[in-house]
Amino acid sequence: MITQITYRLGLTGWPLGHSLSPLLHKTFFNAAGISGYYDLYPVPPNNEGKNQIKLLLDRLEDNSLHGLNVTIPHKQTIIPFLDDLTPSAHAIGAVNAIHVQNDLLTGDNTDAPGFMADLDRLYTQNQIQKRPSPPFALVLGAGGSARAVSYALSRAHWQVTIASRRLEQALSLSTDLFDPDLLPLSPISLNADKLAGLLPDLIVNTTPIGMSPNNEATPWPDEIPLPTCASLYDLVYNPQETRLVKHAREAGLTATTGLGMLIEQAALAFYNWTGLLVSNKTKQKGEELASIYLISDSPIS
C-alpha cells in the first residue's frame, strides 16, 4: 500500500503578517489533489534569529519540513548555513527557496525566472515593444530582490542601472554580477539629481518602500516626474495598488505590482519541492484569491 506524502512547506522572514504565500500554496495543493501545509516562520534579524534559522534547517534535514521559502531580510544572510547553491543562486548571491538535494541543504533562487515570466506577460498583454540595442532598465534598490531582478534582466540583454540610497550597495551588486560577456551594470545613488533626465524603458522597484502599512511611501523622489517613456514594475504587492503604481498610472505609464512575480516564483518552488507543475489556470485562480484577500485584508479559509 502506497501512503501519500503530506507536504510541509513554509516561509521564513521578518515580518510576515500579510504574506500571501500560504494562500497560494493552498491553491496549488488543492489543484494538484495532494495534502500539504504551508506555515509562516517569522524570524527576526538578530542573534536569536540565527538560532531559529538553524532549527528550521534542521527540520529540512530530518525531513519534517520539505521545503522552505526565504524572504527579507534573510535572503543573503541564510547562505552561510547552506551546503550548496544552484548556479543561479550562486551568481545572484541571494536565496529565496531551499530544498534538500543529495542530502545537501541547497539554496535556489526562483525570483529571477519568476520575475522574467511575469515581465514577459506584462509586455505581451499590453503590447509593449522593448526598444532595440538594448532596452534600458532602471532598478530601484540593491538588496536580495534587486540582485535577482538585475541578474535576470542583464542575462536577457538589458542595459541595467541600479539606483540605491546606499551607493556602496549598488557598487557591490554591480561588481558581484559582472559578466564579461554581458553589458556592465551601472550603479548610481537613488536621489532626484541622479534620476532626473534618465529615460528608461522599464523601472523596477525592488525596495519594500510602499509596502503595507506604509502605503503612502514611495521610493521615487516627489520632486521629479516619472519618465513617461517607461513601464513600471513594483515588486511590492500589498497594498493592491501602491502609491508608486498609482502615480505611474496617473502619468499614463503601464504599471503593475509584483503579485504576478510572487505567483510565478511560488509555482517554480512548488515544482522543485513536489515535482508537480502549476498550470496557468491554477496561477490565475491564485491571483484571483490573492486579489480578494488584498481588497478585504482578511484571511480566506
Residue 148 CB partners (closer than 8 Å, separation 6+): 92, 94, 96, 109, 111, 112, 115
Specify the pairing of strand 35-42 against strand 6-13: parallel
The per-residue pLDDT for 3 is 54
Could you tell me the domains of the chain? Answer: 6-110+262-296 (3.40.50.10860), 129-253 (3.40.50.720)
Q: Which of 50, 75, 194, 281 is catalytic?
A: 75
C-alpha–C-alpha distance, residues 107 and 224, integer Å: 40
pLDDT value of residue 132: 74
Please give the average pLDDT of every successive group of 10 residues along the chain, which has 301 residues. Answer: 80 90 97 97 90 96 96 93 96 95 96 97 87 90 95 96 97 95 96 96 96 93 95 95 97 96 98 96 96 70 35
Beta bridge partners of 232: 203, 255
* pLDDT score recorded for residue 300: 40
Whether 130 sits among the annotated catalytic residues: the reply is no
Beta pairing, strands 202-205 & 186-189: unpaired
| The residue type at 20 | L
Of 229, 242, 219, the residue nearest 294 (C-alpha): 242
pLDDT of residue 297: 56
Name the pTM for this structure: 0.93
Taking the chain, what is the end-to-end CA distance rounded to the nearest angstrom?
Answer: 32
DSSP 72: T
